[in-house]
Amino acid sequence: MDIAEVSFASPYFQLEQVAEGVYAAIVRGGTGAWGNAGIVDLGDETLVFDTFFTPPAAQSLREAAETLTGRSPAYVINSHFHADHVFGNQVFDDAIIVSTTRTYELMSEQLPAMLEEVRVHPPSQEEVVGDRQDPRLRRDRAMLAADYRAMEVALPTLRLRLPDLTFERRLVFHGARYTAELLTFGGGHTPSDAILYLPSIATAFTADIVQVDFHPSTNIANPDEWLTILEQVDKLGLQHVIPGHGPVGRGEHVRIMRQYLVDLRQLVTQARLDSPTTDYLSTIQEPEKYRTWSAAPFFPQNLSNMDRWYAHRQERGKAE
């Protein structure tokens, strides 16, 4: 079926029906939702994929799930440990929250300190927006600043809710309507990333492993593993991809995401060869095909991250 908007109104996200009982919650930028989420009516139980950046956004997601399926969510998936996908967990206290074992560890090890840091030193709008003149950079930084302001408002009641159930490679939900496979191929975007795959309709909620028309964050990424994971996801033969950021995509967006990472690597490698200066990254121009993508501030960061990753890998190779 074609993607269709759903009449449920939320200030935090736009609901889109991907298939019967399968919904993508695509964020409205700057509202405190930040990372996309999803709802699946398994037939006899309801599953929610990721929980946004703030409890108010997550509460709206819960209301949507209850309205659309007629029941409270039984399961909630945390695809990875980043805050924009898990800080709404507390709204689903009565559900079973599921993640990989490594994601559970990362959440318990890193998120308490992050919460405390944000409480003590909330990012100011000036820090986030900066003084760049590029209208794309200004737009995207302003949106990020608005998301942080929404998080700051939510901080007094925000608490970390950890997963209840963990898995290593594959966990299957057998519903009356859908069988849903929770899969991990390892860590690429983060040290552990999971996707939710619905084989009967060739659809997957990929979280940040695949992003559509959106520069991904690579701050803690393993580019080599990410490329390998995308190869595995591509083998699923997806028709619909619900990304962690950006609009609902198709199977081709798995390959587009992979090419983006390949292009970053090639751009950095070529700049090193061509430029006699140490500031070779500044000579790289953003490829035309990516200039319409959102999250423009991530592109220069991604060049730096990619350069650092492959330089470190090269040093490891020499040491061995």
> Taking 80 as the threshold, does the pLDDT of residue 104 lie above it?
yes
List the domain range (segments joined by +) for residue 119: 4-252
Query: Per the structure, how many domains does the chain have?
Result: 1
For 182-235, the pLDDT digits (tens) are 999 999 999 999 999 999 999 999 999 999 999 999 999 999 999 999 999 999
Query: In which band, very low, low, confident or very high, does the pLDDT at 124 lie, cut at 50, 70 and 90?
Result: low
Among 1-15, 175-189, 280-294, the minimum mean pLDDT is found in 1-15
C-beta separation of 280 from 310 below 8 A? no
Question: pLDDT: is 136 or 158 the higher one?
Answer: 158
Percent of the chain with pLDDT over 70: 93
In a domain, 26, yes or no: yes
Residue 84 pLDDT: 98
Does some domain include residue 310? no
pLDDT at 265 over 80: yes
- Report whether 304 contacts 278 (CB < 8 A): no
Which of the four pLDDT bands, split at 50, 70 and 90, describes residue 317?
A: low
Residue 290 lies in a domain: no
Q: Provide mean pLDDT across the span 157-178.
A: 98
- The whole model's pTM is what? 0.94
Element (H, E) at 194: strand 194-198
Residue 195 lies in a domain: yes
CATH number for the domain harbouring residue 104:
3.60.15.10
Per-residue pLDDT reduced to its tens digit, 166-175: 999 999 999 9
Average pLDDT estimate for 63-87: 98
d(CA 51, CA 179): 21
Regarding beta strands 194-198 and 249-250, do their DSSP bridges make them parallel or antiparallel, or are they unpaired? unpaired
73 exposed, middle or buried (CB, 10 Å; 0-12, 13-18, 19+)? buried
How many residues are recorded in the chain? 320
Q: Is 64 exposed, middle or buried (0-12, 13-18, 19+ CB in 10 A)?
A: buried
In-domain check, residue 269: no
277 domain residue, yes or no:
no
- Please, what is the average pLDDT of the chain? 93
In whole angstroms, give the CA distance from residue 230 to residue 221.
Answer: 13
Residue 117 forms part of a structural domain: yes
CB 181 within 8 A of CB 199: yes
- What's the one-letter identity of residue 178? Y
Q: For residue 71, what pLDDT is reported?
A: 98
Does 317 fall in a domain?
no
Quick: pLDDT tens for 271-282. 988 877 778 998
DSSP H or E run through 153: helix 135-154
Is residue 17 scored above 60 in pLDDT? Answer: yes
Provide CB contacts within 8 A for 67, sequence distance 6+.
8
Which of 37, 102, 43 is closest to 71 using CA atoms?
43
